[in-house]
Structure 1
Amino acid sequence: MASILNVGRIAEGFVLDHIQAGKSMEIYKYLNLGKLDCTVAIIKNARSAKMGKKDIMKIECPIDYIDLEVLGFIDHNITVNIVKDEEIVEKMALTLPKEIRNIIRCRNPRCITSIEQELEQVFLLTNEEKEIYRCKYCEEKYKKK
């Protein structure tokens, strides 16, 4: 028996589609959605003709509340639909950000960021094809899990 899951429309915010299955909770954490006063619907392991399985997120909040740069770092294949007045007004394609700040931490114990705790964690995209980021200060390569 097929079951239908119905998640209502949002008035203003974002619908994140084509999220790699299982990545939605990571996105929730990186976007700091737990600290914001907004409604979030997460659909995990939805069937997808294109991907097999995918996650979908609906985030209802003013569109200037969230910095979407981090999404390009997590997965630049995510489709971002911007919603205003219950209608999709724009579809955004993501790219790998050239620089990311305070999203990931340098694991090099000799890096200045290990000693100077108030220093920002800055990583620069050094190889777009291989999606390699390196610490701005010590050039330690970031390894994705």
Structure 2
Amino acid sequence: MLNISGLREGIVLDHIQAGKSMDIYHYLGLKNLECQIAIIKNARSSKMGRKDIIKIEGSLEALDLDILGYVDHNITVNIIRDNQIVEKRSLKLPKTLTNVIHCKNPRCITSIEQELPHIFYLADPEREVYRCKYCDEKYGK
């Protein structure tokens, strides 16, 4: 049995769809953090069959958890303090996304003005459809 030690303080991202942990690692910019990070891939789960788990040591001020809602809003965020889970957060689709997805419309201002942020707003929560703030181009998963 694999044993990954507990966290004194940090967050645990649980119920990640198997194989998606590296996407989350990228989206959250975890490579830029100076803390310990454990990625557990394909862990056994009675509810999901297989799942990924990410443990991040330290505070979560540097993390934009809204991105997690876009990647997979079924992820559970467990806040750890003094070796105890003090809070469990459920995620939802964020109302806006900045520089997470990029507009594919060649006539969009973001194609010409490279320094402009790519901003998308949630247009249809049921279908998980986002639209570009500048040109209204549709972006769906």
> What TM bracket, shorter-length normalisation?
over 0.9
Show the counterpart of 2:40. 43
Rounded to whole Å, the distance in 1 between the matches of 2:129 and 2:102 is 14
- Alignment root-mean-square deviation, CA: 0.9
Tell me the CA shift for residue 118 of structure 1: 1.2
Show the counterpart of 1:29. 26
Rounded to whole Å, the distance in 2 between the matches of 1:9 and 1:49 is 21
Tell me the CA shift for residue 61 of structure 1: 2.0
Tell me the CA shift for residue 143 of structure 1: 3.5
Show the counterpart of 1:74. 71
| Structure 2: runs of 5+ lacking an equivalent | none
Q: 2:123–2:131: 8 Å Cα contact kept in structure 1?
A: yes
Identical counterparts, % of pairs: 63
Is 2:105 aligned against 1:108? yes
Q: 2:42–2:50: 8 Å Cα contact kept in structure 1?
A: yes
Q: 1:12–1:63: 8 Å Cα contact kept in structure 2?
A: no
Q: 2:37–2:56: 8 Å Cα contact kept in structure 1?
A: yes
What TM-score, normalized by structure 1, do the two folds share? 0.94
Rounded to whole Å, the distance in 1 between the matches of 2:9 and 2:100 is 26
Rounded to whole Å, the distance in 1 between the matches of 2:58 and 2:136 is 37
Show the counterpart of 2:3. 6
Read off the aligned partner of 1:98 and give its amino acid letter: K
Q: Deviations over 1:89-141 (max 9, x none)?
A: 10000000010111111111111001111111101100001111111111111
Show the counterpart of 2:58. 61
Rounded to whole Å, the distance in 2 between the matches of 1:38 and 1:135 is 34
Is 2:110 aligned against 1:143? no
Runs of 4+ deviating beyond 3 Å: none
Rounded to whole Å, the distance in 1 between the matches of 2:54 and 2:93 is 20
Q: 2:95–2:121: 8 Å Cα contact kept in structure 1?
A: yes
Read off the aligned partner of 2:54 and give its amino acid letter: M
Q: Deviations over 1:29-60 (max 9, x none)?
A: 00000011111101111111111111011011
